[in-house]
Amino acid sequence: MATVTVYGPPISTAVSRVLACLLEKDVPFQLAAVDMAKGQHRSPDFLKLQAFPQTQTAESRAICRYICDKYADQGYKGLHGRGLVDRAWVDQWLEAESQNFEPPSSVLVFQLAFAPRMGLKQDSKVIEANERKLAKVLDVYEQRLGQSRFLAGDEFTLADLSHLPNGHHLADREHLIKSRKNVGRWWEEISSRPSWKKVVEMQSAPSGAEILSYICTVLWTLNHSKVVQTKFLITTNGYKIPLATALSFPALEESESLRETSREEMASVKVFGSPASMEVQRVLACLFEKEVDFQLVKMDSFRGPKRLPEFLKMQLRGEALFYQDDKIALVESRAICRHIVDKFKNQGNKDLMGEGALERALIQQWLETESHKFDPPSSELVFFLAIAPSLPEPELPPTSAIEESKKKLEKVLKVYDRRLADNQFLTGRKFTLADLSHLPNTEQLMRIDETRNLFERHGNVSRWWKDISKRESWEKVTQIAKQPPPMA
C-alpha cells in the first residue's frame, strides 16, 4: 500500500509537478482529492499540513527536492543532479523557473486555459503584457539550450520537469515555444517523457468538481498576489528596483579593503556584488556560518554606464550577484546558499540544512515560504521606504502601494507568530537556512519605525528576530555593509 499521499487535483499545476516527480522516481502514491469549493483546504486536518491555507503552490518544489532526497537510490537518479556541482546548477535553474518563468506563465495559464471555463472574458492586454515578459525569459532559455541539451546540462533534471505544468498549457502558442529552435526542441523532448504523459492522462478528463476546486485555488492566489505596478518598479528575483536602474548593468570594481590577507587572496570562493544588496548579504551570512574563506569583489549597482563585458557574461538576466567557486558559477542567492551548505557540509554550522531527509524537507518548505510569501511584500517595503527616497531622482510610491505591502506582510507575520509560539526557530530548535534567509530584508525593515512595529507587535516574531540578528555571522555582514562603496 502506498505510504505517499498527494492532496489536490491533478489539473493543478503544483500537484502535477509533484506527480511527475514521483513517477520519475518510481514512488508509489495515492491521490486524495481536496475540494476547495467546499472549503476542505481549510479543514483542521488539512491545515495541519500547511504553513498557509492554500494548496501546495508555494511548496511543490520543496516537495520535489524532498522526494529526490528520500528516494535517491530508486527511479531516475539524475533528477536532482549527480554530485554537488550538478545539484547546484539544478537548484539555480529551479530558482530561475520559480522567479522568472512561473509568474508570467501562470498569468497566461489562467487567462488562456481557465478564464474561458469560468465564463470570464480574456484580457488581451494582460495576455500581451505577460507574453512579452515570458518571451524575454525564453530568449535567455534559447541561448542556454543552444549550449546544452537541457537547462542544467546534458541530462533531464528537476529544472526541466518544473516547467512542464505551465508549459503544457502554453505549448500551442507557437510564437513562444516553437518559434525558438532550441526551446522547441527542448520542449518536445521533456514533454514526451513517460512520466509526464502519465500525468497528462490523469488530467485528461477532470471532473467538474476538480475544475471548480482548481479554479478556487487560482482565484485565491490571484486575490492574495496582487502585483503593485508603478512606472519605476520591476521584479528581479522578487526585488523591486528602479526601472532605469534595471535597464543598466552594474559596474565592477575590486574592494581593496576586503583583500588584505593572503587567505582572502587565495580563496577559491568569490562573491561579486554590493554588500548593501539583500541577495549578497544572504550569501555572505551563509559563508560566515559555514566558516568558508571567500573574496568579496564589490560593485556599485547604480553606476550602470560602466558595464564590463566580462561581468555580463557571468549573468543570466543581469542580477546584482555572482558567485564563483572553482568550476561553478551561480547567480541565485538561495541556490548559492544550498550549494555552500552541500559543498562545505563538514565545516562550520552543520545544522543549516538539517540532518536527514525529513529535516531537510521542512527547511526547504520554509525556504519556499520565505521566497514566495515573505520576500515579495518585504522587498517592496524595503524599496519603497529605504531605497526610493535616497535615489538621485527620488519618485515616492503612492501611500496605497505601501499600505498594501504592509497588509500582505502582516498576514505572513501572523502565521510566523503562531509557528514560533512552539518553536525557537522556524523549523524547530535549531537555526537553519530558513531563518537566515529572512535576515537581509528584516534588518532593513527593523530600522524603519512604521515597519518595525509590524514585527514588534508579534511577541514570538520579535523574540525570534532578536535571536537570529545577534548571530556572529550576521553581525559581520552588517559591518561589511557599512563600509563605503568603491570610489568612482
- Domain-terminating residue out of 224, 240, 262: 224
> For residue 288, which of 439, 81, 138 has the smallest C-alpha distance?
439
Single out the residue in 194, 209, 224 at which a domain terminates. 224
Domain that holds residue 207: 4-224
Q: What pLDDT is attached to residue 317?
A: 39
**Pair (216, 360) in one structural domain:** no
Instruction: Say which residues have a Cβ less than 8 Å from residue 270's Cβ, sequence separation at least 6.
Output: 294, 295, 296, 297, 323, 324, 325
Cell numbers representing residue 58 in the block = 508555494
Residue 407 lies in a domain: yes
**Residue 229, in any domain of the structure:** no
pLDDT of residue 119: 72
Q: What is the structure's pLDDT at 424? A: 96
10-residue mean pLDDT series, the chain (488 residues): 76 90 94 60 44 48 90 94 88 88 91 80 92 94 95 95 95 92 97 95 64 48 36 31 30 31 55 88 96 84 38 40 74 88 93 88 90 91 85 75 94 95 95 97 94 95 97 95 62
Quote the CA–CA distance of 112 and 110 in Å, as a whole number: 6
Return the beta strands (E) in 309-387 as ranges: 321-325, 328-330
Predicted pLDDT of residue 96: 87
Q: Is residue 107 part of a domain?
A: yes
**CATH number of the domain that residue 453 is part of:** 1.20.1050.10
- Please give the grid coordinates belonging to residue 326: 572553482
Considering its fold, how many domains does the chain have in total? 2
The reply to whether 379 falls in a domain is yes
Shared-domain flag, residues 219 and 364:
no
Position 33 scores a pLDDT of: 67
Is residue 293 in some structural domain?
no
- CA–CA separation, 19 vs 25, rounded Å? 10
- Domain check: are 219 and 361 in the same one? no
**What's the pLDDT tens digit per position in 380-423?**
999 889 888 877 666 677 888 899 999 999 999 999 999 999 99
pLDDT at position 182, please?
A: 96
| pLDDT score for 154 | 94
pLDDT for position 389: 80
332 in a structural domain: no
**pTM listed for this prediction:** 0.65
Residue 267: the pLDDT is 58
Residue 2 has a pLDDT of 58
428 DSSP 8-state letter: B
pLDDT for position 34: 62
In this predicted structure, what is the pLDDT of residue 430?
95
Last residue of a domain, one of 224, 243, 269: 224
